[in-house]
Structure 1
Amino acid sequence: MESWLKAAGAAGLDDLELADFPTTGRGVRTLWRFKEGERILTIPSRSLWIVQDAYVDLLLGPALRAVTGPPLSVEDTLALYILFVRSRESGYEGLRSHVAAMPTSYSSSIFFTEEELEVCAGSSLYTVTKQLKRTIEDDYRDLVVRVLLGQHRDLFPLDKFTIEDYKWALCTVWSRAMDFVLPDGTSIRLLAPFADMLNHSPEVKQCHVYDPVSKSLSVLAGKDYEAGDQVFIYYGPIPNNRLLRLYGFVVPGNPHDSYDLVLATHPAAPLFEQKHKLWSSAGLDSTSTIGLTLTDPLPNNVLRFLRIQRADESALAAMVLHPQIDVAAEKISNSNEIEILQFLVESFGILLDEFGTPLEKLEEQLAKGVFSAGGNAWAAAHVNLGEQRVLRLARKKAEDLLAAVKSGSSSAAPTARCANCGKGSVPLMLCGRCKGIMYCGRTCQVAHFKEHKATCMTTASKNV
C-alpha cells in the first residue's frame, strides 16, 4: 500500500511505519520527532475513497446510476465500492492493496454474540444494536433487489456480496471513514489509505484536516511526538456506547459517557397542536432525543420538553401570550414542576432497574477480572457502567430539584416568582384575594386562576 501511495504523491510516509501496539493493536509509529501542529502525513485526492469516484467509475458507475428509487446512502455506496474493488481479480491495484490492509474482522457491537451483548442489557447500546441488526438485514435485502440483481448483476457475484460481507464493509466505513464540513456547508465522507490506520486518543487535539482546494487529507501532530511514539488522531468527544457501536472499542472511565433519553408525545394527545408549536419555538420536537452526560445529567431541554408536555390549557395560553419569553426555560408552576420531576425520578429508576447487572456489582466484576480485558464482554460492561453512572446522576439531580420545589411550595412566604410562568426577574404583584401568591401581570393571573382558585378561596376565607 505504501508504494502505491508514494507513487500517487502521498507525503510523509518515510517518517512513519505500521506497527502492533499492546493496547490499541495495529497502528502507526513515527520514526521522527514532531512538534504539535506540524504536518505528519498528506494523502492526495486520487487515493481517497469518496462517493463521487464510485459514480464515475467505468464499471461500477453505470450500475449505481441505473439504480431506481431513492438514492443509495453514502454508507451503502462506499460499502458497495469497497466490496466491488475487493471482488475484482485485476485492475484497481492501488485500491485493492488498501482493501488488503484492512482488518478481516471487527469488534463492533453488531458482531457480538447474544451472551456478550447481554452484558450491557438495559443500555441504549443494547437496544440500538438489536435494532441495527434488523435494519442491516432489511437494507441488505433492498440492495440485493435494487443493485446486486439489477441490470449489471455480473459485477456483483453473490458469493462475494453476502450479508456478512455487507456487514464487514459497513463496519469498515463506520470505523475508518472521516467526515468534514466544506466551506459551502455541504459535507464529505471519505476513506484515506494509511491515515485510517491511526488510532484514537482523547489526549490529542483535533488533527486531521481536509483541504477543499487540493481535495487532499492531511494529518497534523496532535501533540509533541518523539521517535518511536504511536501517532494518534482525535475522533471527538464520543461516549463509549457510540465508540463500541461504530469503532469496536471503549475508553475505560470515558468522561464523555452519555445516555440518550427519548421523550415522545403521540399526535393524538390532548392539545398536541398547541404543544407542538411551543416545542418548535423551543428548538424541540414532539419526539426529542436528548443526551444526558456526566457533566450535564439533566439538561434543561428535558425539563422544557416535559413542562410543555404536562402543561394544561391555561398554562399553554399564557406561554403563547408571552412570545418574548424563552419558552418553558423556567418552571411554569409548582404543580407542573413537581409532576415532571416526580415523573423523571420514577422513570430513571425504571431505566436503572432494566440493566442486567447493578452498578456496584459490575464495578466489582471488572475489578476482579471477571471479563477478559479488551474482550467484547469487557467492552460491553464499560458501556453498561458509563450509562448507569449517567442515569444515577440524572436521578439524583431530579430528586434534588424535586425536594427544592416541594420545600418552596410548602413555605408560607410568598414565592419570588410568577406562579404561572415562573419568571422572577420582573416586578411581581400579590393575588388580591389570598395575598399568598404572586404574578408578573394580569395575563398570568387569569391564566393560572383555574389551578389556583380552590387554594385561593380557602386561604382568603382564613384571612377574613
Structure 2
Amino acid sequence: MQYDVLCPLLCNKHPDIFQPDLYTWDRFLWACELWYSNSMKVVFPDEKLKTCLVPVAGLLNHSLCPHIIRYGRVDSASKALKFSLSRPCREGEQCYLSYGNFSSSHLITFYGFMPKGENLYDVIPLDIDAPQSDDFGNSRESEWTAHMVRGTWFSSNHELFNYGLPPPLLNYLRATLNGSKLPMETFVDTENEMAVLETLCSIFDPMLEGLGVLENDQRANLGWDVKLALDFKDLQRRIISSVLASCSAGLETLQRLGLKESMNAAATTEDS
C-alpha cells in the first residue's frame, strides 16, 4: 500500500531523480526491512564490538520475559551468531528477546512502544539539592543528591524504617532534616521519621496533581502516539500513587507509635 501510493507517483513525475529501475518493489521491501530492523552490538572473534543489522533477529520484539537472553557474540567455531533459547518457545508462538535493561521511557523514545507487565527499571528520578554543611549525617548515602523511586509493589519490606521505599533516599532525608543517626531497631526518632514521610508527600503530591486524569471515553479517537504517551502517564501516576500510599501507611504507623510512647510516658510520670 505504501509503495503503490508513493513510488510510482514519484517515478512518473520526477524520473530523473526517482529512477524506476532503482525504486522497485523488491528494493522497497529491502529498505523497509532495514528501516524496521533494530541494530545489535555484536562481539566478533577478534573481540571487536560492532553495530550490525542481523537478518531476521533484528525483527524480533522485546519482552520483559524473553525467550532469548544471552546473545551478541559470534561463535568462533561456526563463525555464526547463535541465539539460544533460555525457555521453551512453542510452534507458532512469537519468539522474544531482550533489548536490554531499559525503562519504559527509553523503550518509548527509541523503539516506539511500552512493554506489557511489571518493568523493574521503571523509575522516577529525583535530584535534591545538598545542604551546605560539612557535618551532614553519618552515612555515605546522606551525600547522594541523585535519587529515584520505583513502584513500591516491587519491595518486600514495608515495615517501619523502610515503607517499601529506597533506603538511600530515606537516609538522605533523615540526615537532611536534622542530621540524626540512622534509625536502629531499638530506637526510632518518631518526629524525624514523620518529617521524612511528610517531605516525600510534599514532593509527590504536586507531581500527581500535575499528571491530571483523562477519561477512557476521551481516548477513543486519539492517535496511537498520543495513546502511548497517555499510557506512560498512567504508569507514572501508578508509581507516584504507590509512593504516596506507602508514605500514608508509614505515617499512620508512626502516629500510633507516637501515641503509644506518649501514653507510656504519661503512665511513668503518674507512677513517679
Fold similarity call, TM over 0.5:
yes
Structure 2 gaps of 5+ residues are 1-28, 156-163
Query: What do the CA deviations read for 1:88-118 (whole angstroms, capped 9, x no partner)?
Result: xxxxxxxxx98774227xxxxxxxxxxxxxx
Find the aligned partners of 2:239 and 2:176 in 1 and give their Cα distance. Answer: 24
Note the 1:210-221 alignment, pairs <5 A: 210-211=72-73, 214=76, 217-221=81-85
The residue type equivalent to 1:295 in the other structure is F
> Could you say which residue in structure 1 is the equivalent of 2:58?
196
**Other structure's SS at 1:220 match:** coil
Change in Cα spacing, 1:212 to 1:176, as seen in structure 2 (3 Å) is closer
Change in Cα spacing, 1:459 to 1:238, as seen in structure 2 (3 Å) is same
Query: What do the CA deviations read for 1:18-70 (whole angstroms, capped 9, x no partner)?
Result: xxxxxxxxxxxxxxxxxxxxxxxxxxxxxxxxxxxxxxxxxxxxxxxxxxxxx
> Could you say which residue in structure 2 is the equivalent of 1:232?
96
CA RMSD after TM alignment:
3.8
The residue type equivalent to 1:402 in the other structure is L
**Other structure's SS at 1:305 match:** helix
| 2:71 aligned with 1:209 | yes
Note the 1:357-436 alignment, pairs <5 A: 357-358=212-213, 361-363=214-216, 365-366=218-219, 369-372=220-223, 375-411=224-260, 412=262, 414=264, 436=265
> Could you say which residue in structure 2 is the equivalent of 1:261?
125
Number of aligned residue pairs: give it: 226
> Could you say which residue in structure 1 is the equivalent of 2:34?
102
> Could you say which residue in structure 1 is the equivalent of 2:154?
295
Percent identity between the two aligned chains: 15
Change in Cα spacing, 1:205 to 1:302, as seen in structure 2 (3 Å) is farther
The residue type equivalent to 2:144 in the other structure is S
Change in Cα spacing, 1:459 to 1:270, as seen in structure 2 (3 Å) is farther
Match of residue 176, structure 1, among 33, 36, 39: 39
The residue type equivalent to 2:148 in the other structure is I
Note the C-alpha offset of 1:229.
4.2
Note the C-alpha offset of 1:202.
3.1
Change in Cα spacing, 1:290 to 1:462, as seen in structure 2 (3 Å) is same
Find the aligned partners of 2:111 and 2:191 in 1 and give their Cα distance. Answer: 45
Find the aligned partners of 2:171 and 2:84 in 1 and give their Cα distance. Answer: 42
**Other structure's SS at 2:95 match:** strand
Change in Cα spacing, 1:391 to 1:101, as seen in structure 2 (3 Å) is same
Find the aligned partners of 2:48 and 2:169 in 1 and give their Cα distance. Answer: 30
Change in Cα spacing, 1:291 to 1:245, as seen in structure 2 (3 Å) is farther
Query: What do the CA deviations read for 1:291-321 (whole angstroms, capped 9, x no partner)?
Result: 3124246333321221122133xx3xxx4xx
Is contact 2:42-2:74 (8 Å) kept? no
Query: What do the CA deviations read for 1:426-461 (whole angstroms, capped 9, x no partner)?
Result: xxxxxxxxxx4xxxxxxxxxxxxxxxxxxxxx9998
Find the aligned partners of 2:170 and 2:242 in 1 and give their Cα distance. Answer: 15
> Could you say which residue in structure 2 is the equivalent of 1:352?
208
Change in Cα spacing, 1:218 to 1:299, as seen in structure 2 (3 Å) is same
With structure 1 as the length reference, what TM-score do the two structures score? 0.41
Change in Cα spacing, 1:377 to 1:339, as seen in structure 2 (3 Å) is same
